[in-house]
Every structure is written in C-alpha cells, then in structure tokens.
Amino acid sequence: MLAHVKAGYPNEACGVLADASGTIVKHYPAINAAEHPDDFSIIGPEEALRINNEIDQNDWNYFAYYHSHPRTQAYPSSRDIDYARYWPGTLYIIFSLRDLEHPEIRAFTIHNDRTVSEHPIIIES
C-alpha cells in the first residue's frame, strides 16, 4: 500500500483490501478517478465494479478502503466522511505523505452518524 500511495504522489492514491475469515487475501491498488486527484480520491465505476465482482465471486469481504493525503494529516476529511457512506462497515486507512521521508498511517471507522473512531495499527515483520 505504501509503495502505491507514494507512486501516486503528489496526487492522492487509493485502493481496497479484501479479507476472508479475518485474513487479508487481496490488495487492489486502484486508479484515482477523481476530477481533482490532488485533493481527493475515488475509484472509478468500472474498476469498482470489477473489484466488487471479484470480491463477491470469491465470497470475500471488503476489509479496508485506503488512500493518501499528500499534504495533510492522516485523518478523514469532511469529504472522506461523506464518501464513507459508499463503504459501510469498511475500515478507512489513511496515509499522510506531507513528510515523504516519514509517512504516517492511521486507521478509522467512519460511522453513519459521521463520527470517527480510530483503531491502532500494529505492523509485524
């Protein structure tokens, strides 16, 4: 994921993680189809449908929608919160690239009432 969002810099980059029984089974780095990709990310309808079909066909689940914030903190923007209604129950992983040498990563749940809950991230090697 980090390589994908760094490759998209200075624009936002986005993608999806699919899981089965609590294990990540597929990473879908996507093309940012936003009209202004420098400050928003969205997966285009054709690519979103392809991802959705593969996840459904394999009986997987959406685990996370991830994207980058090239110049701001790793926290959901108001547009991220609005957009989250299309990804109910999906974890939001946000990378801040405002310091490219030391990117920041945070994970959130965005609830229907627009509240945001943060989740710890533990990276194991």
Q: Hey, what amino acid is at 52?
A: N
Looking at residue 63, its pLDDT comes to: 96
Name the phi and psi angles at 18, rounded to 5: -110, 150
Looking at residue 86, its pLDDT comes to: 87
Rounded Cα distance between 7 and 91, Å, is 22
Looking at residue 87, its pLDDT comes to: 85
Below-70 pLDDT ranges, the chain: none
Looking at residue 89, its pLDDT comes to: 87
- CB-facing half-sphere around the CA of 106: CA atoms within 13 A: 15
Question: What pTM value is reported for the model?
Answer: 0.94
Looking at residue 82, its pLDDT comes to: 94
Looking at residue 123, its pLDDT comes to: 80
